């Protein structure tokens, strides 16, 4: 299952400049999601991070993982209609063991690989990894809850 940015925006509330997921290329419900963000020099964060030496901020990588995890959680809930989903939002409860292994620069394609560690009701624990050219650049464990808006 693939999703373009228009379909992504039907599920999560984020919009430019804070929508950090361009496409989802694969989803296995209750298991995994693969998606990506094309990092460009036009991204607003590069105005100040860092002039003359642009590095994509680690916090933005983590937020992109979180957005991808939110898509996985919503798409895994078979019993939820599109109308019901529109009344819900994913809140992240914690981000643990975050690591940054290599810098991400303009021109990179940041690939998110999210997998479910466990789910209990509306609470999800996810393993998030970010890659550039199949090299691990960041990882974290994410905990989230789906709640009413």
How does pLDDT run across 37-73, given as a tens digit for each residue?
999 999 999 999 999 999 999 999 999 999 999 999 9
Give the mean pLDDT of 12-30: 96
53 is catalytic: no
Whole-number Cα distances in Å, 140 to 60, 78, 80, 83: 13, 26, 27, 31
DSSP category for residue 64: H
Q: How far apart are CA 25 and CA 40, in angstroms?
A: 20
Give the active site residue among 23, 49, 129, 143: 49
Q: What is the structure's pLDDT at 82?
A: 75
Q: What pLDDT shows up at residue 81?
A: 77
Residue 28 reports pLDDT greater than 90? yes
Q: Any idea how long the chain is?
A: 149
Query: What is the rounded distance in angstroms from the CA atom of residue 115 to the CA atom of residue 108?
Result: 22
Domains of the chain, start order = 5-148 (3.10.129.10)
Average pLDDT, rounded, for the chain = 95
Grade residue 130 by pLDDT with cuts at 50, 70 and 90: very high
């Amino acid at each position: 299952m693939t999703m373009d940015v228009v379909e992504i925006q039907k599920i999560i509330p984020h919009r430019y400049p804070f929508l950090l997921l361009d496409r989802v290329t694969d989803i296995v419900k209750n298991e995994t999601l693969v998606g990506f963000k094309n990092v460009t020099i036009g991204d607003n964060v590069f105005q100040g991070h860092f002039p003359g030496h642009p590095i994509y901020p680690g916090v933005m990588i983590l937020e992109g993982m979180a957005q991808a995890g939110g898509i996985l959680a919503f798409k895994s809930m078979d019993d939820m209609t599109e109308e019901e989903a529109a009344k819900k939002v994913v809140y992240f409860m914690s981000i643990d063991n975050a690591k940054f292994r290599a810098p991400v620069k303009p021109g990179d394609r940041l690939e998110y690989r999210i997998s479910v560690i466990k789910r209990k009701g509306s609470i999800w624990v996810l393993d998030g990894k970010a890659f550039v050219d199949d090299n691990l650049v960041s990882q974290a464990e994410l905990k989230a809850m789906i709640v009413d808006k």
